Structure formats: C-alpha cells, structure tokens
Amino acid sequence: MRLLIVEDEKRLAQSLAKGLAAEGFAVDVVHDGAEGLHQATEHDYDLIVLDIMLPGMNGYRVCGALRAAGDDTPVLMLTAKDGEYDEAEGLDTGADDYLTKPFSYVVLLARIRALLRRHSRGGQRALTVGDLVVDPAARHVTRGAAPVELTAKEFAVLEQLALRAGHVVSKAEILEHVWDFAYDGDPNIVEVYVSALRRKIDAPFGRKSIQTVRGAGYRLTPESGPR
C-alpha cells in the first residue's frame, strides 16, 4: 500500500517514512501543504499522514480541499497542538483520525492499520484467493493451514495481486503502490519479487496461482488443489 506523509519536520518525516517502509508500505514524503495537496491529487494513495502546522497551506485547508474534490482517501492528522477544539476542527474538515505530538510510533502504526482496515473494500479483513489467505491487518499469509513467511516487500506485492485477484495487475500498478515516487531503478524489480512469491506460495504446494500475462502483467488466481 502507498502512503503520503506531509510533514515539515524533516527528521520526523524521514523517521516515519523509514519505519513504515520497513513495514512494507511505499511511502512518499513532502514538506509543505501545497505540495502535499498536489501529490495527493496527482497520485493514488491508500492513506495520508497530514501535519496541521505546515508552511504555505495548513493541514486543515489541505484536507478540506481534498474532501471538497470528492477524495475520500483516509487522512490521519498530526499536530503539536493539544486541545479538543483543534481535534474537532481537524475532524470537521474531513480527517478520519487525529494524533497529537509527541506520539508513540507503535500507536501511529496501529492507527494507520485501523484506518486502512476501515477503508478497505467492504471492510474486508482478509483477502482469500482459493486456499490462499492474505491478511493485511496482521501482515500474515497462509496457504491452507500452513503459514507462509514473506518479507515486507514480498507481502506488499502479493497484497496488490490479492486485492485484484482474477484481474491483470500491471508492473506499473505494482510499482506505484509498492515503491515510492523516488524509485528510479529497473521496473523489472517486480519480476524478482513475483519469482520470490512463486517460490514461497506456489512451488512448495504444487501450485501455479500467479500467472504471467505477457505484455500486460500478472494475475493471481485460485486453484482447487495441488498440481
């Protein structure tokens, strides 16, 4: 999943980005409100972490502009302010949750996961494709009764395929959601991770559930039993 952090405290922003990337999220970072609004309207994000006290355009205005444009991307507001009126103003502009600095990273991560669960398609907690179960909340994968250990990046790629199971997902779409906009490496990195997934979720179980659609991308399909 792809997150946007709009935070003018650069050390805090980079620290959050590093931690969230280690959890398997693709994270983009900007440091002022106008650029945050631009990025949020130009790219498809799963969640926005938005500071209130920003140069140029504060978080209230950014969130209000997004909601006025019909953008319902979950917004978690951060602020150094502390008070019920500040919280009320943030929520009134359309924010989904509110966290006051200083905060625990563990709490931030829990809030992000809760918002993503709430906003997920149909409130679905786990993605089931045949006997393959991908649980975004627990970051856990099972094939039948067997747990499958994946790296954070492998999980993120599989999650994108599972979200659109049965449909073709292009390399570009996977890159957009799993790698941040600063990534300028070889797009064939996606092939590396798909190959790793096949070795972990397919080969040990005699399956071929990740199909390559030549020139288009990849499709995750259910299978009734081992081959």
Question: Which amino acid is residue 179, in one-letter code?
Answer: W
- Report which secondary-structure segment, H or E, holds 146: strand 146-148
Region 114-124: mean pLDDT is 68
Token readout for 40 is: 């949020």
Q: Please give the order of strands across the beta sheet that includes 127-129.
A: 127-129, 132-135, 140-143, 146-148
> What per-residue confidence (pLDDT) applies to 23?
85
Tens of pLDDT, residues 147-163:
999 998 899 899 999 98
Whole-model pTM?
0.67
Dihedral over alpha carbons 20, 22, 25, 30 (to 10 degrees) = 50
Among 38-42, 43-47, 134-138, the range of highest mean pLDDT: 38-42
For residues 1 and 117, give the distance between their C-alpha atoms in angstroms, rounded to a whole number: 12
Helix 171-178 vs helix 152-163: crossing angle, to nearest 10: 130
Region 124-143: mean pLDDT is 84
In the chain, the domains with their CATH numbers are 2-120 (3.40.50.2300), 127-220 (1.10.10.10)
> What per-residue confidence (pLDDT) applies to 227?
46
> What per-residue confidence (pLDDT) applies to 90?
58
> What per-residue confidence (pLDDT) applies to 89?
64
Asked whether the beta carbons of 76 and 99 are under 8 A apart, the reply is yes
For residues 2 and 68, give the distance between their C-alpha atoms in angstroms, rounded to a whole number: 22
Region 192-213: mean pLDDT is 94
Token readout for 212 is: 């390559």
Per-residue pLDDT band for 224 (boundaries 50, 70, 90) equals very low
> What per-residue confidence (pLDDT) applies to 85?
46
> What per-residue confidence (pLDDT) applies to 91?
65
Whether the pLDDT of residue 83 is over 70: the answer is no
Side-chain half-sphere of 198: how many Cα atoms within 13 Å?
Answer: 13
> What per-residue confidence (pLDDT) applies to 167?
94
Per-residue pLDDT band for 188 (boundaries 50, 70, 90) equals confident
Cross-strand partners of 47:
3
